[in-house]
Amino acid sequence: MTLREHEGVTYAQGFRAAAAHCGIRKKALDVALIVSDRPAMAAGMFTRNRCCAAPVIVSRRHVARGTIRGILVNSGNANAATGAAGVRAAETCLKEAAQRLHCRPAELLVASTGIIGVPLPVEKIVGALDGLAAGLSASNGARAAEAIMTTDTFAKQRACSVALRGGTVRIGGIAKGAGMIMPNMATMLAFITCDGRIGRTRWQRMLRHAVNASFNCITIDGDTSTNDCVLALANGASGVAVEKEEEDKVYAALEALCMELAHLIVRDGEGATKFVTITVEGCARTRDADAIARTVANSPLVKTALTGCNPNWGRVIAAAGRAGVAFDPERMDVYFNGVLTVKNGCGAGASKAVLDELFKQKEITIRVVLREGHARATVWTTDLSHEYVAINVAYS
């Protein structure tokens, strides 16, 4: 299976998209519509942030109700911390979109990203709907990917196909995210389409597992957004049923797609200069390995050492030791890009010159090995640079 770099949410049959500039952002595309030509099975993963945004509240409710026809998404305004008025604003946008798509508002999902605490400019979004509905096309997947960007520096889309006995199933997706990234459900915004025929329960289970293996394993700054969601539609337009015995093939493709989109988010992390893989193995439980990996990944001291190309392994073991996991520090090893740097909790005598050159690389793997069991976990992250601070100081 090969991931296609230049295809996205309209690669699957029966899906169209449109994007426009409605005026929320100064110049860029800032509103998109993704539509299935037929009712689609919907699955969703949503932020666990208690201060969740209005679109999360509305879409969570609509996903639970049944089939879905489309997704309306805007950038530049999160419609978060806007109270009951924010929920009404999201519902109004869906009501207006439903009239143009000849479906019920409950058959649409909504997502937003951008500034928190600012009322959603409903009139601007509604004013763009006629053009969006008229412009729906299978050739507009890339424009939809562009319209959901905020501090992203590039649009993120991928697609793939899976050969089953009954024919070929296509899956496509787009995502956005560069900051406020620390998944706790999913993360950022991601929209996935599939033209296979599959039941809603199985589709939701597949999405949950794929998200846990991908989006839930990345962090840029340790902050879980108010608006995070991953929404997936499967419309059956290919006519190919995803039978139980071939579900693993489709799942493998879905996971690979999610993994690639998640990695693109990390590579586009605000101010990031390095792509960092942190693997912890030899733990008693997977959740222990995950806790240590996330603590190391989110440590400002570790992240700034990475920015400064400083192989300060003491910061790694200090972060691991405060993760709330019981282990014997005298049985801990640490490797940087395969170079043994810590042995049994102490420096292993690795060459400083070798480590200095290693830390100048753009991709770094930190491997922490304990001897408490057989569980392991991997988290992907970035370094923390001066540019990250500058971007977020200027964001609003």
Predicted confidence (pLDDT) per residue in 46-105, tens digit: 988 888 999 999 999 999 988 999 999 999 999 999 999 999 999 999 999 999 999 999
> pLDDT tens for residues 98-121?
999 999 999 999 999 999 999 999
Which residues form the domain of 50?
15-267
**How open is the CA angle 7-12-18, to the nearest 5 degrees?**
70
> Is there a domain that residue 5 lies in?
no
Give CA separation, 41 vs 65, 68, 204, 303, in Å.
10, 6, 9, 41
User: Are 256 and 340 part of one and the same domain?
Assistant: no
Residue 128 in this model has a pLDDT that exceeds 80: yes
Helix ranges, the chain (H): 54-65, 83-101, 122-134, 141-147, 200-213, 247-267, 286-298, 300-307, 313-321, 352-358, 386-393
Has this prediction a pTM greater than 0.85?
Answer: yes
Q: Which of 113, 150, 151, 187 is catalytic?
A: 187
Q: What is the rounded CA–CA span in Å between residue 222 and residue 182? A: 5
Number of domains in the chain: 2
pLDDT band at 235 (very low <50, low <70, confident <90, very high): very high
Same domain, 138 and 79: yes
Whether 2 maps to a domain, the answer reads no
User: Which of 198, 287, 186 is closest to 248 using CA atoms?
Assistant: 198
CATH at 309: 3.10.20.340
Quote the pLDDT of residue 185.
44
Whether the CB-CB separation of 40 and 180 falls below 8 Å is answered with no
- Separation between Cα atoms, residue 233 and residue 102, nearest integer Å: 18
Do residues 281 and 364 both lie within one domain?
yes
- pLDDT over threshold 50, residue 186: no
Alpha-carbon span 109 to 107, nearest angstrom: 7
Q: In this structure, is the dihedral angle defined by the CA atoms of residues 218, 186, 24 and 135, taken in order, positive or negative?
A: positive
Same structural domain for residues 177 and 284? no
277 is catalytic: no
Q: Is residue 1 part of a domain?
A: no
Q: At what angle do helices 83-101 and 122-134 cross, to 10 degrees?
A: 20
The alpha carbon of 143 is separated from its chain's Cα centroid by a whole number of angstroms, namely 18
